[in-house]
Amino acid sequence: MSQKQLIEKSLEIAKILFESSELHISRSEMRNHLQDGFEQYYDLITKSLCASDKITNKRGKIGGIEYSKGKYRRPDLSVADKQKIEEKINLLFDELKKSEANERQQPELKVQASFKSWFQSETKIQDVDYIYNFRSEARKNGKWRNVDGYYITFEKSDYHLSFKPMLTSFEVKSGMPDTKDISQAENYFNFSHYVYLVFKSSDPTHVILDTLKLADASKLGVFVTNDNVTFAKIHNAKFNQPLTSEVDTALGKILSDSELEIIEGKMLEYLQDKVKLLFS
């Protein structure tokens, strides 16, 4: 259902109201007019129509909507009234879609929150040695926008100048990933050194791996949980070597400004240590 269709249906209901002999449409009568997919938008349409001062909710058992008598000469909608109704529909429709999206994301967010906590405790690495986060608001437009989480360590050479951030990307799902999910995760190899699928399943390991149908050459790693408390790595991710420029671009798109400053600080610290060693 589109916003345009909801606006058209709302104005149709208003016309029916103003043409009725009692200038009132009961709740049941209104529902009869809201067929063919409009039934679920009863509250939205009612609230939107009441955005006009000429229409109010009818109190009592029969409910519905009625014309606000006594304030205006004739029951009809002015251009301004229609604009108020349209604006209200757009507002409520956007809120509804956001709410539906949040409900769909809740199972994944639970897996994500559990994995974030578990992985951080299992790695047992000091905060100064890595950057690790799951933050949807960090995503920006482009091929990086679907990355659910990231784990960055630093590869430093002792014998020559080499400081390289190593990016691991995570794709989190609430249940068994499908082929589209797998393909999406594999796309992260364009800019990641390691990529892991993370999801919840109570199936045995061999069933999961058979279902995923990961080829022997697949570099994807897999973490699975059946209780949202502990996770098991049932398939190791294999090292991938993306272009350095792709990694740098991805870091700039995925990380927050403060996290990028941390990387710059670590690089500066590394170079300073090398200079000190050179002149010692």
**Domain ranges (residues) in the chain:** 3-99, 125-278
Rg, the chain, Cα only: 28
| Strand-pair partners of 196 | 170, 221
Structure tokens at 133: 């986060």
Region 196-208 average pLDDT: 92
User: What per-residue confidence (pLDDT) applies to 68?
Assistant: 82
- The amino acid that residue 19 corresponds to is E
User: What per-residue confidence (pLDDT) applies to 30?
Assistant: 85
User: What per-residue confidence (pLDDT) applies to 172?
Assistant: 93
E runs forming strands in 26-161: 55-57, 65-67, 131-133, 149-156
User: What per-residue confidence (pLDDT) applies to 245?
Assistant: 94
Confidence of residue 225 (pLDDT cuts 50, 70, 90): very high
Cβ neighbours of residue 75 under 8 Å, at least 6 residues apart? 17, 18, 23, 54, 67
What are φ and ψ of residue 262, in 5° steps?
Answer: -65, -45
Burial of 33 (0-12, 13-18, 19+ CB in 10 A): middle
